[in-house]
Amino acid sequence: MDCLFCKIIAGDIPSDIVNEDEKLIAFRDINPQAPTHVLIIPRQHIATLNHLDVDDGELIGHMTLSATTLAKEMGIADSGYRLVWNCNREGGQDVFHIHLHLLGGRTMHWPPG
């Protein structure tokens, strides 16, 4: 499958992995938008959030808890951080394998751009 993140999972494209388990991997974004910018992705290829079904709730919860654990380990939990899911073109999605952005280490602004 011609998917960038599946190639990262397979090890065909190198990445700076910060955590991994049987369900997911987490690695640093190549073009960080904050001092800490990690992507958490499922090993299973799911193209967009619109492709999730009711059985994926556990996976999504696991990804979220992985992000909050990483935030603590990376020292941004108390100062604050942002978790972002982009979906499809107007949502700002460029890679069509779902991923959760963990951003921190600076003040975030609202509304988002």
If one asks whether residue 49 binds Zn ion (CB under 5 A), the answer comes out as no
If one asks whether residue 29 binds ligand 5GP (CB under 6 A), the answer comes out as yes
Residue nearest to Zn ion (CB): 3
**Quick check: is 37 catalytic?**
no
| Residue 66 and residue 6 in contact, taking contact as beta carbons nearer than 8 Å | no
The CB-of-26 to ligand 5GP minimum distance in angstroms stands at 10
| Window contacting ligand 5GP (CB under 6 A); options: 17-25, 45-53, 75-83, 87-95 | 87-95
Which residues make Cβ contacts (< 8 Å) with residue 96, sequence separation at least 6? 3, 47, 48
Helices (H), 1-113: 4-10, 57-73, 88-91
Cα-Cα end-to-end distance for the chain? 32
Catalytic positions, please?
Answer: 99
**Interface ranges with Zn ion (CB under 5 A):** 3, 5-6, 45, 97
